[in-house]
Structure 1
Amino acid sequence: MQSGDPDAIVVGAGPNGLTAAAYLARAGFSVLVLEAEREPGGAVRTREVTLPGFRHDLGAAFFPFGQTSPALVPLDLPGAGLVWRHAPIDSAHPAPDGTCASIARDVEATARSLGEDGPAWRRIAGWHAATRERLLNALLSTPPALGPLLRLGPLNLLRLAQVALSSGRGFATRTFRTEAARRVVPGLALHTDVGPDDPCGAIVGFMLTVLASSGGFAVPEGGAGAITSALLRRVEERGGALRCGARVDQIIAREGRAVAVRLEDGQELRARRAIVADLAAPTLYLRLLASELVPERVQRAMRRFRQGFGTFKMDWALDGPTPWSHEDATRAAVVHAGDSLDDLSAFTRQVRAGALPEHPYLVIGQQSLVDPTRAPAGRHTLWAYSRVPSSIEGGWAGSRERFADRIEARIEELAPGFRQRIIARTIWAPDDLEAMDANLIGGDLGGGSADIRHQLIFRPVFPYFRYRTPLRGLYLGSSYAHPGAGVHGACGRNAALAVLEDEG
């Protein structure tokens, strides 16, 4: 980057921040990215956290948007060194009764797995194959995205609306006949904080389900940090710069325009044209901006901002692959542990009541099955999380080990002998995840609740849903803006496009 003040400062080097920086740099802006931590990536990082030689993803680990997102595809991350790996099965959903519905990029393999629900799956997969690019453009563009929506066509819009207006349970029971198939879409929705019985909750799980059948739950060779490295390469090759260990303490405004940031050490850095914040919305509006710069209505909205569920994550070093009872799970990138619709509903009720789930729903990742760089020869990593309350009575110190044991017992139900394979484990309670990445408030992975009342024009607050803020020159480009969670880069790209539009 040339000496002097940059055109744009991006606060936060998570995937959205780096995507915003890449688009601005491609447009000819001089860009400086500031990251509070010692390394970039936010929740998209990889470290040896159990034993030497075992590489674990700290946050995000599987990337259905990685090869399909209209924000990432133009950046050609494979051309920047990123290598994607795929398992034969993308998402397996076993239960103790021996059933297992599985989703793969091979439509016929999925149809065989679903048995009598195979024809229903062929219809869904066929519709998705015909509409995927238009659908992703519509869902990931700046709202209201009328042009992309209209290009879907009236019949496709009607079909999408039927899904969007359904609960996960309603859509599943209307679409599938078997309990095994019915637990897939509601189970995938619990990647966020959307339960099976939530109104208008089906769309989250539906999108993850169909993306598993197209982009798949892809694994970056070498770890999630490889995505961060590829994005950073795209920023730096156009002259952008990254500065780590630079925690922003305040955003400075003059005459109604954001013009600079002040670091924790007191240093002030000016931006000639724009500041893009890859930050939690409450952090931006309540901590980094002086209160007189933020409308009282926005301050009130941020004080009552609804975060998503907390997350309790574990990493294991294993002396062999997880011994799943069902063969599909032994070949799956991701295994979901949720026995039935009623099991998922009971789990959701317990978390919302502030209790630790008795029978935790789990998202379980098996990266080392397809990426041998993750573990020493003959050994494996395992990655898993459950959704939990953000805080519990008495704090996490007294409950960490107990709930970790409960998670291992849950896996043991589906993979007898699992505990005997464990060499080491690492536990991440919600407060640990927030300490790792300040945007994960209370262990919330999603940038706020995915409830329909927090989407579209209400994310994060009306009328500031199009990445602009009450201050000219300041933009929100994090997952707290539309379309929310997922490593798709769309929040950052759309914020960058807003900058370019305003700057002519």
Structure 2
Amino acid sequence: MKKAFDYIVVGSGINSLCCAALLAKAGHRVCVLERNDYLGGCIKTAEITEEGFRHDVLSGWHPLFVTSPSYQALAADLARHGLVYLNSEKPTAVVNPGGEALVLSTSRERNTAVLNELCDGDGDRYAQTMTAMERDAELTFSLLTNELVSFATLRLLWREWRSRGSAGLSQFAGEAMASSRDWLCQHFRSDLARSLLAPWILHTGLGPEANFSGAMSRVLGFSLESAGMSVVKGGSDNLVHAFRGLIEEYGGELHVNTDVQRITVEDRRARGVECLQGHRDTQGRQSIQIEAKRAVICNVTPQQLYLSLLEPDWVPETVREQAANFRFGNACMQIHLALDQLPQWRDPQLDDVAMVHLSGGLDAVSLAVAQAQCGLLPAEPTIVVAQPTALDPSRAPEGKAILWIQLQELPSTIRGDAAGQIEAPGDGQWTQEIAERYADRIIARIGQHIPGLEGSIRCRVVLSPKDLESINVNLVGGDPYSGHCGMQQFLLWRPLKALKNHETPVRNLYHIGASTHPGPGLAGNSGYMVARGLLS
């Protein structure tokens, strides 16, 4: 490894890879340092069940990345390094406990007609919402892809004010603050239509009652219809391989098993990092120092950055206090199944849908979120059932399949079971036994909609919230979004109220990742913002 680079990027998640690739392509010497034995952060593909079954262990679906500014800038380069995306005209669907199903397609005309069949006017109101999203796209997506405290954002708001006037801009902001429940109940009369869209707010780290969740529900609905549900051919690690090839092509380096212990600072300016190199489970790890001539960019949580990586002398008391109080959200569980055959749903229209939600509807989502926040295992959580082999048969041997199952409404510390079936541990900590028993409940529910599912399971792997944090240190308590996304910790106030944009109290030190603006979602936007700012 070289001892000096222009830029050092700590962590190798999607934001790090986007940032490093953009900087390297611009001619800078870049070094990416990863503490784990693999690159990618939450992008990890492995044969964790049986040989030949390639599972995306954590994240696996990329509708936000393929519509991101990073992808627009790097798509041709990534394709040259082997990246291929597959997609579906049926990105998502819902099935309720009674077996009623509804599919969202990439055709607005079809979606409008289907929703109008359910309840007269629902489809028309859906189409009006999507048209409004197109009209507001520049403002909406610019706020999610630009530094908020910047001349670019001021110019954008000035243009919008001149176009809309004070009342129009105020109306936009007021509508954005509404909850997902508000939006769904005002625009849809059909419970099934509400059920189709309600679970998607969980993928932003919010619940249906949260302020701003209505705006995020519309953003996701618009993205699904316009971009579908993209998946990387052969496994999401092929995206990481493409990034690695691109960064190395331009002279960059990427190193695993390199655990950054300290950011070196002189005169309030970041100068480099001190690392331990070598696998964490082995003896004799080597201590090394690496110089950063221009900047250090950290993809970590606020606690890691301000309470561990920086010496206390460089962290103002207000920042230290806010970092210590940074709040994490509900926990998550992943279940991976290797199947003897392709799933055959009771409703055949679900067989080729990319991602199906099993949900009792809007109220059921709200109840499960509330139960998790109170420390309870939800009695009937929202179940995300994604079908990678429906889009990409290469993920499993011929005639076989995999399922990617996610639960996003779980407590990180268990106080009880809302169903009264699983006894809470005395210390509240997740154990493998509890995770397996809860997974049994989930598989039984899925089996009501996929006949013969349990008999077709060759192997099952259950990853509890505790397992997720052990895989990726940024997923504190099993929170897949690296921090609660409520308004008090979002937009201008993410990660901390005392700081501006992705800057830190130390010059030439920048903070990126899901804990920073614009929050979670596999898009790479915070890495893009920092790279663009450095290159400008």
TM-score normalised by the chain length of structure 2? 0.89
2:326 corresponds in structure 1 to 305
Question: 2: CA distance between counterparts of 1:181 and 1:147?
Answer: 38
CA contact (8 A) 2:333 2:406 kept: yes
The alignment yields a C-alpha RMSD, in angstroms, of 1.9
2:126 corresponds in structure 1 to 121
Question: 1: CA distance between counterparts of 2:40 and 2:236?
Answer: 9
Partner-residue secondary structure (3-state), 2:354: strand
2:483 corresponds in structure 1 to 448
Q: Trace 1:107-146 onto structure 2 (pairs within 5 A).
A: 107-114=108-115, 115=117, 116=119, 117-132=122-137, 135-144=140-149, 145-146=153-154
Q: 1:391 aligns with which of 413, 430, 433?
A: 413
Q: Trace 1:148-167 onto structure 2 (pairs within 5 A).
A: 148-149=156-157, 153-154=163-164, 160-167=172-179
Deviation at 1:131, TM superposition (A): 4.8
- Structure 1 segments (4+ residues) deviating >6 Å: none
1:242 corresponds in structure 2 to 254
Q: Are positions 1:172 and 2:184 aligned together?
A: yes
Q: 1:412 aligns with which of 437, 441, 447?
A: 447
What do the CA deviations read for 1:182-223 (whole angstroms, capped 9, x no partner)? 123331001233222223321222211111001122111011
CA contact (8 A) 2:8 2:33 kept: yes
2:32 corresponds in structure 1 to 33
Distance 1:254 1:206, change over 3 A: same
Question: 2: CA distance between counterparts of 1:327 and 1:150?
Answer: 50
1:402 corresponds in structure 2 to 437
Question: 2: CA distance between counterparts of 1:325 and 1:318?
Answer: 17
Distance 1:294 1:412, change over 3 A: same
Question: 1: CA distance between counterparts of 2:171 and 2:145?
Answer: 18
Distance 1:73 1:196, change over 3 A: same
Partner-residue secondary structure (3-state), 1:89: coil
Deviation at 1:344, TM superposition (A): 1.0
Distance 1:134 1:164, change over 3 A: closer
2:92 corresponds in structure 1 to 91
Question: 1: CA distance between counterparts of 2:134 and 2:176?
Answer: 19
1:207 corresponds in structure 2 to 219
Q: Runs of 5+ in structure 1 lacking a partner?
A: none
Distance 1:500 1:407, change over 3 A: same
Structure 2 residue identity aligned to 1:191: H
Structure 1 residue identity aligned to 2:154: L
Deviation at 1:256, TM superposition (A): 0.7
Distance 1:405 1:223, change over 3 A: same
Distance 1:489 1:149, change over 3 A: farther
What do the CA deviations read for 1:431-483 (whole angstroms, capped 9, x no partner)? 11111111111111112111111111110002424111010111002111100
Partner-residue secondary structure (3-state), 1:271: strand
Structure 1 residue identity aligned to 2:85: W
1:106 corresponds in structure 2 to 107
Structure 1 residue identity aligned to 2:18: T
CA contact (8 A) 2:65 2:524 kept: no
What do the CA deviations read for 1:200-252 (whole angstroms, capped 9, x no partner)? 32122221111100112211101111221222222122111111111111111
Distance 1:131 1:198, change over 3 A: closer
Partner-residue secondary structure (3-state), 1:399: helix
Distance 1:109 1:79, change over 3 A: farther
Distance 1:186 1:162, change over 3 A: farther
Deviation at 1:276, TM superposition (A): 0.3
Partner-residue secondary structure (3-state), 1:119: helix
Distance 1:186 1:452, change over 3 A: farther
Q: Are positions 1:274 and 2:295 aligned together?
A: yes
What do the CA deviations read for 1:330-377 (whole angstroms, capped 9, x no partner)? 121111121111111111111001011111112221111110110000
Question: 2: CA distance between counterparts of 1:204 and 1:126?
Answer: 16
Question: 2: CA distance between counterparts of 1:197 and 1:134?
Answer: 24
Question: 2: CA distance between counterparts of 1:327 and 1:126?
Answer: 31
1:52 corresponds in structure 2 to 51
Structure 1 residue identity aligned to 2:140: L
Deviation at 1:158, TM superposition (A): 6.0
Question: 2: CA distance between counterparts of 1:469 and 1:302?
Answer: 12
Deviation at 1:111, TM superposition (A): 2.2
Q: 1:372 aligns with which of 393, 408, 422?
A: 393
1:147 corresponds in structure 2 to 155
Distance 1:375 1:294, change over 3 A: same
Structure 2 residue identity aligned to 1:248: V
TM-score normalised by the chain length of structure 1? 0.94
Partner-residue secondary structure (3-state), 1:185: helix
Partner-residue secondary structure (3-state), 2:338: strand
Choose 135-144 or 267-276, whichever is displaced more. 135-144
Choose 129-138 or 385-394, whichever is displaced more. 129-138
Distance 1:328 1:162, change over 3 A: farther
CA contact (8 A) 1:309 1:390 kept: yes
Deviation at 1:4, TM superposition (A): 5.2
Q: Trace 1:319-468 onto structure 2 (pairs within 5 A).
A: 319-387=340-408, 388-392=410-414, 393-394=424-425, 395-397=429-431, 398-468=433-503
Partner-residue secondary structure (3-state), 1:408: helix
Choose 159-168 or 445-454, whichever is displaced more. 159-168
CA contact (8 A) 1:41 1:225 kept: yes
1:64 corresponds in structure 2 to 63
Deviation at 1:26, TM superposition (A): 2.3
Q: Runs of 5+ in structure 2 lacking a partner?
A: 277-285, 415-423
What do the CA deviations read for 1:354-405 (whole angstroms, capped 9, x no partner)? 0111111122211111101100001100001112111225222131111110
Distance 1:230 1:340, change over 3 A: same
Question: 1: CA distance between counterparts of 2:430 and 2:387?
Answer: 26
Question: 2: CA distance between counterparts of 1:495 and 1:203?
Answer: 25
Question: 2: CA distance between counterparts of 1:38 and 1:97?
Answer: 45
Question: 2: CA distance between counterparts of 1:373 and 1:159?
Answer: 48
What do the CA deviations read for 1:294-351 (whole angstroms, capped 9, x no partner)? 1111111111111121111110001122232223321211111211111111111110
What do the CA deviations read for 1:18-53 (whole angstroms, capped 9, x no partner)? 111112112221111111111110101111010100
Q: Are positions 1:75 and 2:74 aligned together?
A: yes
Question: 2: CA distance between counterparts of 1:149 and 1:386?
Answer: 38
Choose 109-118 or 332-341, whichever is displaced more. 109-118
Q: Are positions 1:231 and 2:252 aligned together?
A: no
Distance 1:476 1:307, change over 3 A: same
Of all paired residues, the percent bearing the same amino acid is: 33
Question: 2: CA distance between counterparts of 1:45 and 1:160?
Answer: 38
Partner-residue secondary structure (3-state), 1:263: strand
Question: 2: CA distance between counterparts of 1:257 and 1:142?
Answer: 22
2:281 corresponds in structure 1 to none
Structure 1 residue identity aligned to 2:362: L
